[in-house]
Amino acid sequence: MLSTLSTILVDAISMGTIFLFGCVGEILTEKAGNLNLGIPGIMCIGALGGSFGVMIYSNGAADPTQMSGFWLVVVSVLFSMLFAGAAGLIYAFLTVTLKANQNVTGLALTTFGVGFMKFFAKRIDMTNFVVASKYFKNLFPFSGKLGWFGEIFLSHGVLVYLAIAVAIFASILLNRTRTGLHLRAVGENPATADAAGINISKYKYIFITLGSAIAGIGGLYYVMDKTNGTTLAEASIDSFGWLAVALVIATMWKPIFAILGSIVFGGLSILAMDLTTLSFSQLKIFDMFPYIITVVVLILTSIFGKKENQPPASLGL
Amino acid sequence: MKTEKVKNDPLFHVSKNDNLPRWKAMLIRAGAVLVALVICGIMSVILIKENPFKIYGTMITGAFIDIWTLLKDIAVLLMFGLAVIPAFKMKFWNMGANGQVLIGCLCAIACMKFLAGKVPNVVLIILMVVTSIAASVIWAVIPAIFKAFFGTNETLFTLMMNYIAIGIVAYFSFSWSDGSGTIGLVNYIGSKNYMAGWFPNIGNKYVMIILIALLVDAFMFVYMKYTKHGFETALVGESVNTAKYVGINVKKVIIRTLILSGVICGIMGAMFAGSLEHTVNTSICGSKGFTAILVAWLANFDPLMMLFTTFFVVFLQTGAENVSTVFQLKSTDYSNIVVGIIFFCIIGCEFFIRYKIMPSQRLKDILSGKKTRSAEKKEEA
Amino acid sequence: MSKEIALELKNITKSFGRVVANRNVNLTVYKNEILSLLGENGSGKTTLMNMISGIYFPDEGEIFVDGKPAVISSPKDAFGYGIGMIHQHFKLVDTFTAAQNIILGIKNEKYNIKLVNSRVREIAEKYGFDIDPKKKIHEMSVSEKQTVEIIKVLYRGANILILDEPTAVLTPQEIEKLFAILRKMRDDGKSIIIITHKLNEVMEISDRVSILRKGEYIGTVNTCETTEKQLTEMMVGKQIELKIDRVKVESTKPLLEIRDLVIRSDDGSKAIKNVSFYIRGGEILGVAGITGCGQKELCEAIAGLRKVESGFIMHKGESIVGMPPKLIIEKGISMSFIPEDRLGMGLAPSFSITDNMMLKTYGEGKTPFVNRQAAREKAQALIEKLEIATPSTETPVRRLSGGNVQKVLVGREIDANPNVIVTAYPVRGLDINSAYAIYDILNEQKSKGVGILFVGEDLDVMLALCDKILVLCHGEVMGIVHAAKVTKDQLGLMMTGAVNLTELQKEKNFGIAKDSNLTETEWLNAANEQNGGAENEN
């Protein structure tokens, strides 16, 4: 029983990490007052960019089995952030500087991002990916010796811990720093922020781009850790992207909640697979639970919610 | 001392522009498409290593290879677009056309599955249409009710409703497939009633949806422009305060408008079930609900303009797909990239249509090599 | 006692386009002083203060702070000189705490909210503010929000504080408290400029008073050496005879009777307090008052757009309280309110003139279609009659100039043949000719037996046009007077709360018509019904 539970939890965490990256990225973006529906596309672009980094680094190494895992991860994460950040920059330019409609721009970016990834994915040489993927996995090799504790908390890959670190960082940034205070003011009440001498466009640009870059790592994580470097072109990363957008609402724009929320969402996604007694069609029901939770949270917060749990007041405008 | 605000003077002054003549706006849009085509051309040359004009030629011929399919695709996208425009006109961001169509389609398929052979075909078809519309209306009206009474964010709500619909459809399309591998097929080919509930063909399979789309387009044009309801919808979108001032029940208008959206989605769902697909699965809508939003926005929510924008977008998609086939790119993703780039350019160019950009004094000073005022001020200090 | 000068303005001029908001204004503020800035609406007080606080930059003139010339081109600059302004409309983020709002935008100190909390408490203690730095803005009352704004300024080290109508949103008790704080700050060496319309407050709080009229500096007097009457004269100036006819019309029975009306404003405070008055057919009743004295809420309540807390609005003897706006329109009550941005209520800016013509009538007829042809004809007729400058009937209203926009609005209202017209600021921003065109329209309606409630700004116009004038001050009736028998000074005194006729003539049953449409018992019944309803609610 305990082992089943810990397996589920481990799987839930590993699945949830994809959403966590996307969710934290989107929270930062939405806190600046921009609803970026391009996140699914951006995560795809991040997956592609990261894979590109993996390809360059691993193919450049003399012996892929002996390459430096540290630099491999650093290079691929940076590439992932670079690609995804660039996509975020397009969105920021269109919506901030050119004042375009956020929904329309975001959806166009998603269309573009999905196509972009799938088209170029076929041009990525994935020969060393399976070898490379082991550097993304199992950060603490000794975790196996520590029983259930090691399995649940220490058996994950480096990006899982990065995701949690990023979420904690985002939470501290938002709640404990002046930058976070200014950012929230921009999303809540741009006129007041402007009167207080805060450069609204600068904040929007920085956090849309940063948020996109963070979301992009989620795509890389899926390719290199979740699927062990086997899936890229066939991956439906965009559907995870929509779950990430849902998670933002379900966790009421709080990165710390997002850590737990991502495990819940991840759990719902994999629970079905672990419950072998269910028929295939019943599994499908589980796919919509995260969205139902999200809708319920959205409704409840709008009816009873405190002001702090509402979407940022100027979101989407 | 005769200075104005000096610090951080912007380089440009941006102000709303209402007076841009139509032809100028069209010229700017055409320019944007041109820029996009140049970008795509350069990209195509790098990727496919072919003469860009040859690629564009392939696009144009490719789009018209199968006229009926082209027209059908336009009609389907048009239906999705028509379903969202009344809500958009009201500034209600209905992102949920996909889900609304899917759930309607599912109900129509349910009728086919369980009533085939038990009721006369005419009755079956009527039941399909009615249940499809009813289901779509319910799906569309739930977010509307919460928006009207509690101010629940409709963009996020309708977006989520898409995926709930997908989950429901996935469940039924798998559980109804009886494990035979033909996922989502209702009544198997060869079985006694497998054509029960199929809508009759007019000429060919696609004429009916094309006619319906045109009819609905005409209806929406009249509805939005000439009816009292359309007037109220536009007024609520224009100013909720003014709408209340003239005595309009804003809640009622929001709900009624989303019912209309649901009806159109329901018709589309029934058409998928009875005429186009004869099946339901999670991917029959593709991303049409989202593309429709782009199309509607480009058309400025005008049903007549939408005839052109849907044609334009479907033409691009089909053409780019043909490029993929001809140049053996082995995927349709190329078309998404091309469409994406063109969208970025058009979305961006709307700024130059809706706003007037004037160089500011500071830019003029910089350009003419004069000392800027802030520099002057520094010296003063 | 020689005083140190804190702030000095010399020959300040500022114009917006062709409108001169301030012309050659001089102003001196000493340390340890509270200076009142007095002036009617549009006299340029706020513009002047905005130049000191860095929102506008003067076209001409000089500003000296502590005797040295100062260049103030942004609010930040102003803070650099120790100048802080508390605006009438608070600029606060609702979901933030008081302390978070107070430090918003400050960049040059370490971010430590605990330290901020304790510093805020320190400031609060020093001057006697009552504030919890951890409380969120959306949980605060108006006066608490104002406190946050004031502390925000003090936190940034301001020595010169400008308060733009700080008492407008406060209860008498809160005003007392605020004044005590202001005095403490004065004794602490700060200079305070307070913009207010209320003469009793001016007399109570300030050491000196400077008066502006129509953008020009009139003079400064020591408060202890002046009287309310002298201040009013300086503020309103000489009465100007206007050539507006007051048409003689036989007035009818009361069309609209309002008794004991109480209305709340958006922030929950009482905007209209126990107001009673009536309008007869064939009469123009003016409503005079400083901006924010409850005119807007009154108009909205009559049109059914704002909830009535208690009291009655009777139209021809029938209560219209709680009726939906549509029914009220059908009863023939027209309301048009020209807000400061001119397009806020009553018109749809991107709709054409034709569509705006049918805003209230589009629902007529049995077909599901709007009758745009009829509306177009009406629009055409209106354009010709009122000489509206527009390319066509299909031009969006947003593209018209202000005067033409107002003509469309007023024209449409009259076209509906109302029996009661409520119109607020119908000539706001209009040139003389357009304004006279509007007065003619109103007089024409009056001759037809329509009852008109005219909320105006210009006292000279009201004295010439109206039959009677109702004066409001902070939601309370100061008196209802015959326009022919009153002077501008008297109105000014009433508007600023210095004179209250209702108290002087209590026995006269203010605002209650002798020939009411309802008998006394009917009124009592209505009152009982309302009270009963209220009890049931509880």
Tokens 């309009």 found at:
B248
Task: Give long-range contacts, CB 8 A cutoff, 24+ apart: C141-146.
Answer: C141/C268, C142/C169, C142/C170, C142/C267, C142/C268, C142/C269, C143/C169, C143/C170, C143/C171, C143/C174, C143/C177, C143/C178, C144/C98, C145/C90, C145/C92, C146/C86, C146/C90, C146/C170, C146/C178
Query: Residue A160: is its pLDDT beyond 90?
Result: yes
pLDDT at residue C343 in the model:
59
- What residues make up the domain containing A265? 2-309
Does B379 lie at the interface with C, CB-CB under 8 angstroms? no
pLDDT of C253 reads 85
The pair phi, psi for residue C317, each rounded to 5°, is 85, 0
Residue B91 has pLDDT above 60, yes or no: yes
List, in sequence order, every residue forming a beta bridge with B4; answer none if it has no partner.
none
Say yes or no for a CB contact (<8 Å) between B239 and C346.
no
Of C95, C111, C138, the CB nearest to A177: C111
CA dist., res. C207 & res. C314, Å (int): 47
Residue C152 has pLDDT above 90, yes or no: yes
pLDDT (tens digit per residue) in C422-470:
988 887 766 677 778 888 888 988 998 899 999 987 788 888 899 999 9
Contact A178 C100 (CB under 8 A): no
The chain B residue lying nearest C13, using CA atoms, is B2
User: Rounded mean pLDDT of C322-329?
Assistant: 87
Chain A contact for B139, CB < 8 A?
A: no
B117, amino acid identity: G
Confidence band, pLDDT 50/70/90 cuts, at residue C121: very high
Pairing of strands C68-70, C83-86: unpaired
> Which token pair is C93?
């983020």
Give the position of tokens 């939408």: B306
Q: Is C248 on the interface with B (CB under 8 A)?
A: no
Q: Give the helix/strand (H/E) hosting C478.
A: strand C476-482
| Min Cα–Cα distance to chain A from B173, Å | 8
Cβ distance A129 to A230 under 8 Å? Answer: yes
Write out the DSSP string of C170-217. --HHHHHHHHHHHHHHHHTT-EEEEE---HHHHHHH-SEEEEEETTEE
What is the CB neighbour count within 10 angstroms for residue C44? 23
Cβ-contact A221, A270 below 8 angstroms: no
C5-236, what's its fold? Rossmann fold (3.40.50)
What DSSP element (H or E) covers C274?
Answer: strand C270-280
Taking each helix axis as running N to C, give the angle between helix A158-176 and helix A129-136, from 0 to 180 degrees, rounded to the nearest 10: 50
pLDDT confidence bin for A125, thresholds 50/70/90: confident
C76 and A CB contact within 8 Å? yes
Please give the Cα distance from C28 to C130 (Å, whole number): 31
Residues C254-332+418-537: name the CATH superfamily.
Answer: P-loop containing nucleotide triphosphate hydrolases (3.40.50.300)
B226-265 residues touching A, CB cutoff 8 A: none
Alpha carbon of B10: minimum distance to chain C alpha carbons (Å): 14
Nearest to residue A187, comparing CAs of A7, A57, A27, A46? A27
DSSP run (H or E) holding B78: helix B67-89
pLDDT of residue C535: 43
The conformation of residue B281, written as its DSSP 8-state character, comes to -
**Residue-level pLDDT at B52:** 77
State whether residue B4 sits within 8 Å of chain C by CB. yes
State how far the alpha carbon of C332 is from the alpha carbons of A257, C186, C255, C510, in Å.
56, 54, 11, 26
Q: Identify the pLDDT of residue B183.
A: 47
Query: How far is it, in rounded angstroms, from Cα A99 to Cα A84?
Result: 21
Q: What is this structure's pTM?
A: 0.85
Question: In chain A, how many domains are there?
Answer: 1
Q: Do A193 and C104 touch (CB under 8 A)?
A: yes
Residue C248: name the closest of C438, C440, C467 by CA. C467
Listed by start position, the domains of chain C span 5-236, 254-332+418-537, 348-416
Please check whether residue A22 lies inside any domain of the structure: yes
Q: What is the 3-state secondary structure (H, E, C) of chain A?
A: CHHHHHHHHHHHHHHHHHHHHHHHHHHHHHHCCCCCCCHHHHHHHHHHHHHHHHHHHHHHCCCHHHCCHHHHHHHHHHHHHHHHHHHHHHHHHHHHHCCCCHHHHHHHHHHHHHHHHHHHHCCCCCCCHHHHHHHHCCCCHHHHHHHHHHHHHHCCCHHHHHHHHHHHHHHHHHHHCHHHHHHHHHHHCHHHHHHCCCCHHHHHHHHHHHHHHHHHHHHHHHHHHHCCCCCCCCCCHHHHHHHHHHHHHHCCCCHHHHHHHHHHHHHHHHHHHHCCCCCHHHHHHHHHHHHHHHHHHHHHHHHHCCHHHCCCCCCCC
The rounded distance, in Å, linking the Cα atoms of C431 and B271 is 61
Optimal mutation site among A237, A288, A293, A297, interface B, most CBs of chain B within 10 A: A288
Are B297 and A37 inside 8 Å of each other by CB? Answer: no
DSSP letter (8 states) at residue B200: P
How far from C134 is each of A179, A264, A310, B281, C140, CA to CA, in Å? 19, 33, 19, 53, 11
B330 contacts A122? CB cut-off 8 A: yes
Contacts of A183 in chain C (CB under 8 A): none
**How far C321 CA lies from chain B's nearest CA (Å)?**
15
Structure tokens at C119: 């510093």
- Chain A residues closer than 8 Å to C164 by CB: none
CB C262 within 8 A of CB C497: no
Residue A298 has its nearest CB partner, among B153, B166, B171, at: B153
Is the CA virtual torsion C52, C57, C62, C68 positive or negative? positive
Q: Write the DSSP symbol of residue B185.
A: B
User: Is the CB of residue B164 less than 8 Å away from at least one CB of chain A?
Assistant: yes
Do the Cβ atoms of C305 and B244 come within 8 Å? yes
Pairing of strands C283-288, C160-164: unpaired
List of chain A residues whose C-beta atoms are within 8 Å of the C-beta of residue C105: 182, 193, 196-198
Tokens representing B378 are 């520094």
pLDDT averaged over chain B? 84
pLDDT digits (tens, 9 = 90+) for B113-153: 888 778 888 999 999 999 999 999 999 999 999 999 998 88
- Tell me which residue in B163, B172, B336 faces A242 most closely, judged by beta carbons: B163
| Spatial strand order in the sheet of C318-319 | C270-280, C254-264, C308-315, C318-319
Q: Say yes or no to pLDDT of B192 above 70.
A: no
C394 at B interface, C-beta within 8 A: no
Smallest Cα–Cα separation from C430: which of C388, C380, C385, C467? Answer: C388
Interface of B with A in 272-291 (CB under 8 A): 287, 290-291
Q: What is the mean pLDDT of residues C42-54?
A: 86
CA dist., res. B185 & res. B279, Å (int): 5
Mutate to test the interface with B, among A120, A302, A303 (most CBs of B within 10 A): A302
| Torsion-angle region of C317 (φ positive above 0: left; ψ -120 to 50: alpha; else: beta) | left
Nearest CB neighbour to A197, from listed C76, C100, C103: C76
The pLDDT of C311-322, averaged and rounded, is 89
Domains defined along chain B, listed by start: 1-50+335-381 (no CATH), 68-326 (1.10.3470.10)
**Quick one: tokens of B130?**
């009615």
φ and ψ at B373, to 5 degrees? -65, -35
CATH number where A226 lies: 1.10.3470
Residue A92 in contact with partner chain B when CB distance is under 8 A? no
CB pairs under 8 A between A and C: 53
Distance between CA atoms of A291 and B265, rounded to whole angstroms? 21
| Residue C30 near residue C193 (C-beta atoms within 8 A) | no
Chain A residues 45-64 with CB within 8 Å of chain B: none
Q: What is the 8-class DSSP label of residue C219?
A: E
Interchain proximity B239–C59, CB inside 8 Å: no
> Which of A76, A47, A85, A37 shows the shortest CA–CA distance to A214?
A85
Distance CA B335, CA B325 (A): 11
Residue of A nearest to C113 (CA): A176
Q: Check: CB of residue C434 under 8 Å from CB of residue C418.
A: no
Percentage of residues in chain C having pLDDT higher than 70: 93
CB atoms within 10 A of CB C80: 16
CB-based contact (8 Å) between C458 and chain B? no
The DSSP call for residue B274 is: I
- Choose from B20, B228, B260, B361 for mutation: most chain C CBs within 10 A: B228
Asked if the C-beta of A184 comes within 8 angstroms of chain C's C-beta atoms, the answer is: yes
Q: What is the DSSP letter of C71?
A: -
Residue C146 exposure: Cα atoms within 13 Å on the Cβ side: 23
Cβ–Cβ of A181/C103 closer than 8 Å? yes
Hey, of A36, A96, A111, A239, which one would you mutate to test binding to chain B, going by the most B CBs within 10 A of its CB? Answer: A111
Looking at mean pLDDT, say which of A286-295, B168-177, B207-216, C486-495 comes out highest.
B207-216
Average pLDDT over residues C21-42: 88
Q: What ipTM goes with this model?
A: 0.86
The letter for the amino acid at A52 is F
Please report where in the chains the tokens 């159109």 appear, as a residue. B264
Tell me how close the Cα of C466 comes to any Cα of chain B, in angstroms. 26
Write out residues 298-327 of C within 8 Å (CB-CB) of B.
303-305, 324-327
Among C62, C74, C369, whose Cβ lies nearest the Cβ of B227? C369
Q: How far is C183 from chain A (nearest CA, A)?
A: 27
Measure the CA–CA gap between B261 and B264, rounded to whole angstroms. 5
Q: A111 and B291 in contact by Cβ < 8 A?
A: yes
In this prediction, residue B178 carries a pLDDT of 57
Q: What is the pLDDT, as a whole number, of residue B108?
A: 92
Q: What's CA B295's distance to the chain center, in Å?
A: 5
Nearest in space to A260 (alpha carbons), one of A250, A274, A245, A270: A250
- Other CB atoms within a 10 A radius of the CB of residue B80 amount to 26
Task: Spell out which residues of chain C touch residue B248, defining contact as CB-CB under 8 Å.
Answer: 326
Amino acid at B313: V
Q: Return phi, psi of residue C472, to 5°.
A: -110, 140
| pLDDT tens-digit readout, C208-267 | 999 998 888 999 999 999 888 888 888 877 766 667 778 788 878 889 999 889 999 887
Q: Which residues of A touch C100 (CB under 8 A)?
A: 181
Across the range A229-256, mean pLDDT stands at 88
Rounded to the nearest 5°, which phi and psi values hold at B43? -60, -45
A307 contact residues in C (CB cutoff 8 A): 94-95, 136, 138
Chain A neighbours (≥3 Cβ pairs under 8 A) are B, C
What mean pLDDT is reported for chain A?
Answer: 88
Q: Does C375 touch chain A (CB under 8 A)?
A: no
For A181, the closest of C91, C104, C136 (CB atoms) is C104
Cα C184-C189-C193 angle, rounded to 5 deg:
75
Does the CB of B344 have a partner CB in chain A at under 8 Å?
yes
Residue given tokens 């340390």 in the structure block: C31
